[in-house]
A and B are shown apart, each in its own frame.
Chain A
Amino acid sequence: MLICESLGKFKFDPDRRFKILKELLSGNAAIARGAYEFGVTLAAGYPGTPSTEILENLSRYEGIYSEWAPNEKVALEVAIGAAMAGARTLVTMKHVGVNVAADPLFTVAYTGVNGGLVLVSADDPGMHSSQNEQDNRYYAKSAKVAMLEPSDSQEAKDMVCLGLAISEQYDIPVMLRTTTRVSHSQSMVEMGEPVAREIKPYSKDVKKNLMVPAFGRLRRVSLADRMARLAEYSESTPVNFIVPGNDKVGVITSGISCQLVKEVLPDASVLKLGMTNPLPVGLIKKFAAQVEKLFVVEELEPYLEEQIRMLGIKVTGKEIFPYSGEFSQGLLRTCFASAGVLPAQPKFEDPAKGLPQAPPRPPVLCAGCPHRGVFYTLRRLKLTVTGDIGCYTLGGLPPLEGIDACVCMGASIGMAHGIDKAVPELKGRTVAVIGDSTFLHSGITGLLNAVYNNSDSTVIILDNRTTAMTGHQDHPATGRNLMGQEAPEVDITMLCRSLGVKRVEVVDPLDISRLQEVIKAETAAPGPSVIIARRPCALLKREVKPAVTVDQEKCTGCKTCLKLSCPAISVIENKALVSADACVGCNLCVQVCKTGAMQRGQADA
């Protein structure tokens, strides 16, 4: 049964539902499908693992306008406008993207919407591809918006529908929080036919939409009222329900943890919370009274646990379940065994016991990444380097070690300026490194600040013509948009000049000697400088030139080439070896080789 039926006002053609076809979809593909089936007219977002594939899938459906915005704040603002004007909207981002979008989020809760607005926050417990593992359920509580948490792909799709319905009925944005294992796991989903896309009428209403203090105060009261009504709805929503089991052990859980609990404790009573803000206080009390011992199973922070404790209910949570990382069945079994709920786990006979440890295989910059030489050069020049989000964080690991720090999108530029202003010894020795997509996301204001405050810092924009790390999404400087159409292409050089940067140099990062010369000149020069190192991502534009060869006589085994951290190069028995399969002929190693052993490959005659 589709959960949308509980909301009477939501238009849904019942006759269409019975032509059921099932498909194996990732949570992200299911969210896109949900947006298609349930009347979303506009979708916007910024790429970020694990959220990226939602809009990539969505852009393939006819009849929905979708776009990559330069950052998450803009994406949400686009959706707020569209929703205010009456359209159903979807906004997607990774967990840290919500930090960027938080400003409009906290106030759109006041104004409310008109057409439904669902904001997908894709959290990343375990930090598979993120700089932190913040728990975005607190955003829903703090901003006072509704939150839904699916536990598989079917629920992910259904909750787009429910989210839109709640949003319209309660005049509030709805956050749909996934985690990596919901976004990137595939499970079976029932396909439905799309409802008609309709735009609700718009009428000017400044008391609702113009958030000056006088009206904001009114909407603050309204928000409290809307949340109170939502709390009532949370008691009866079909996504909050009790799975009856034995009365000895009860578990309250949400999201992916529900699936793990069903597997680990198949006979326990479970209160599955699909709506985690506001919480169904009555239902929680009722459930707690039914069971002898109550547990809360939730990844990351004790979000549910703290609120349940506030109700005066005795519950076991973070004293046995970890705060950080992902959960697994194995981990939950061990935790429940420690609490006496499961018998002591049989001693695990690890087949790998006594075998050598496998050396790690972290991701590396690709063979032929044109920007590898920048990190090599920065390291050689012994500069202090503030880095930024994207592939280029990989330039910080040994043996490249070309970055000192990385905090968040766009941070490199402000950080370099801060160092420049505060520490005289590092003046002229500090460089910010940022990708093109990241620069357009949130580097522009940092650069404006550096100009305005008369910085001597140097910014290197590694312009690979795409958003590479998340799988090559377009952005305002690529000349294409999400829907595959041609788009105006921002000129990054002119953009930097117009911000007031007098010294802007464009270099080819594959020309190491020139690159080094420019970096030396620009770090020494007073005033802010920008160096644009421009070469497309090696995966984007596969220009495979003949592989480098090694003159065995000349090679002394000095291993200088290894400092490039290129997966195509190894040194075996004191001789360098270039894998002809992996090498794309970028010839960086030819340039750093001191003995002339590395030689440009010759095209076959």
Chain B
Amino acid sequence: MLKPIDVLMVGVGGQGTILASKVLAAVAQAVGYDIKVSEIHGMAQRGGSVVTQVRLGEKVYSPLISEGEADVILAFEELEALRWLSYLKPGGIIIINNQQIYPVSVLAGAAEYPQNIIPQVQSRGVNVQVLQALEHAIACGNAKAANVVLLGALAQKLPIEEKIWRDALAATIPPRLLEVNNAAFTAGFTAATSGTGC
């Protein structure tokens, strides 16, 4: 039996990780994969660190991903990319949105936001795809679609055909926002294809 594909979505409460995981779940279902999704509620709305674990494959038992096991980490924010990097398996890929959201400890001057996170992660020999998801989303007409830009980049890395993703978006996102989100998806997909990510 094939090992499941493990995708970790990490970000800050309010960035839309949960919607992103819903779309991925719908995609997995359409392909006929077994799927488990695990997330923590309760604190997410209060600007805390959020993580959604998505596992898809022939048969999935545990809903959890351990350190060194994630095939893909989809990081919605740089500091969260750093925080969860240990979860990436050797040869896995981390897609990083180059957005920085300061935690209160940094705002209050009690801690420092680490400098140059992306080059530092790259220097570790890790497969990194950097994306300016927020800029792409704004260009598409809605800053909130940054999560779908990231999904577009994820789609580029997974062996699932585009139409299934488009159908999943249509099934998950309200019709009035679909056009913007489709454009955001394309932007992410294209940026990831070009390799520069910018």
Contacts and interface: CB of A to CB of B under 8 A. Distances in A.
- The reply to whether chain A is a binding partner of chain B is yes
Interface of A: 24, 49-50, 52-53, 128-129, 152, 180-181, 184-188, 256, 259-260, 262-263, 326, 328-331, 333, 348-356, 358-366, 391, 394, 398-399, 469-471, 539, 559, 562, 565, 567, 569-571
Contacts, number: 174
Contacts of A348: 67-68
A432 to B, nearest CB: 23
B113 A363 contact: no
B86 A352 contact: yes
B47 A329 contact: no
B61 A50 contact: no
Interface string B149-165: 00000000000000000
A470 B41 CA distance: 8
Interface in B40-71: 40-49, 60-64, 66-69
A26 to B, nearest CB: 8
Contact of B82 (A181, A355, A559): A355
A352 B36 contact: no
- Looking at B85, B108, B121, the one whose CB has the most chain A CB atoms below 10 A away is B108
B108 A398 contact: yes
Contacts of B108: 398-399, 559, 562, 565
Given A260-B62, A350-B86, A352-B85, A363 B114 contact: no
Contacts of B41: 49-50, 52-53, 129, 184, 471
A570 B46 contact: no
A186 B55 CA distance: 10
Contacts of A398: 108, 110
A420 to B, nearest CB: 32
Which 5 residue pairs across A and B have the least CB separation, nearest first? A330-B66, A129-B42, A363-B46, A363-B48, A359-B111
Main secondary structure of the interface of A (DSSP, over half): loop
B79 interface: yes
Interface stretch (B99-107, B174-182, B184-192): B99-107
Contacts of B88: 351
Contacts of B45: 363, 366, 471, 539
Nearest to B78: A358
Contact of A351 (B44, B69, B85): B85
Given A358-B114, A363-B48, A186 B25 contact: yes
Given A129-B43, A352-B124, A356-B120, A364 B104 contact: yes
Contact of B61 (A259, A328, A349, A567): A259
A177 to B, nearest CB: 17
B12 interface: yes
Interface size class of B (residues with CB under 8 A): 35 or more
Contacts of A184: 38-41
Contact of A187 (B42, B63, B67): B63
A391 B44 CA distance: 12
Contact of B46 (A355, A360, A394, A569): A394
Given A24-B29, A260-B62, A567-B107, A186 B36 contact: yes
Contacts of B110: 398-399
B38 A562 contact: no
B40 A128 contact: yes
Given A259-B61, A360-B103, A354 B124 contact: yes
A328 B37 CA distance: 15
9 contacts: A185-B38, A259-B63, A329-B66, A330-B68, A348-B68, A355-B85, A358-B114, A360-B103, A363-B13
A471 B46 CA distance: 11
Given A329-B64, A330-B69, A348-B67, A188 B34 contact: yes
Contact of A356 (B25, B105, B114): B114
Contacts of B102: 570
A593 to B, nearest CB: 16
A391 B12 contact: no
Nearest to B94: A351
A37 to B, nearest CB: 21
A263 B61 contact: yes
Given A260-B62, A562-B107, A359 B35 contact: no
A333 B41 CA distance: 27
A355 B124 contact: yes
B90 interface: yes
A185 B85 contact: no
Contact of B66 (A188, A331, A351): A331
Nearest to A470: B42
Nearest to B54: A186
A348 B89 CA distance: 9
Interface string B1-36: 000000000001100000000000100010000111
Nearest to B28: A24
Contacts of A570: 102, 106-107
B91 to A, nearest CB: 10
Given A259-B61, A330-B67, A359-B111, A364 B39 contact: no
Contacts of A186: 25, 35-38, 63
Nearest to B13: A363
A259 B66 contact: no
B126 interface: yes
B42 A359 contact: no
Given A184-B41, A186-B25, A567-B107, A366 B46 contact: yes
Contacts of B36: 152, 185-187
A362 B48 contact: yes
A128 B39 CA distance: 11
Contact of A180 (B40, B80, B103): B40
